Amino acid sequence: MTEPLSEGILEQADKRQHEVFETIALGEEAKIFCRSKLFEYICNAAEKKVIDAQVALGTVDPDDKTEIVRLQTVIARFDHFTSSLNELVTAGDSAYRLYRAQLEQQD
């Protein structure tokens, strides 16, 4: 026997709302992490490695493709780390605004 259509719609709505809440929570966790001493330490250490990699790229043998790729990876890893955190914060903020707008429409 199949479930009534309304039950399927309610389940989908509950799942979407749960995903919205998870996105909001993850964004808030990312904000908290970005204000932490641990984040500051990781960023400072990574920035030093990035600067060292950038300097090394200027002097590396142009035929040493393995070393060039390794140095580029060091730089890209930091860029990816910070952009991923920014994306989490932005997604959480957007989900929160969407949730607030839906609440206001219900009132």
Domain count for the chain, please give it: 1
- The parent domain of residue 55 ranges over 5-106
User: pLDDT (tens digit, 9 = 90+) per residue, 56-67?
Assistant: 999 999 999 999
- Give the H or E element holding residue 106: helix 65-106
Q: Which amino acid is at 38?
A: L
Q: What is the pLDDT of residue 9?
A: 65
User: pLDDT (tens digit, 9 = 90+) per residue, 36-90?
Assistant: 999 999 999 999 999 999 999 999 999 999 999 999 999 999 999 999 999 999 9
- CB count within 10 Å of CB 34 equals 15
Mean pLDDT in residue range 23-36: 96
Confidence of residue 94 (pLDDT cuts 50, 70, 90): very high
Locus of tokens 């780390």: 81
Q: Which amino acid is at 89?
A: V
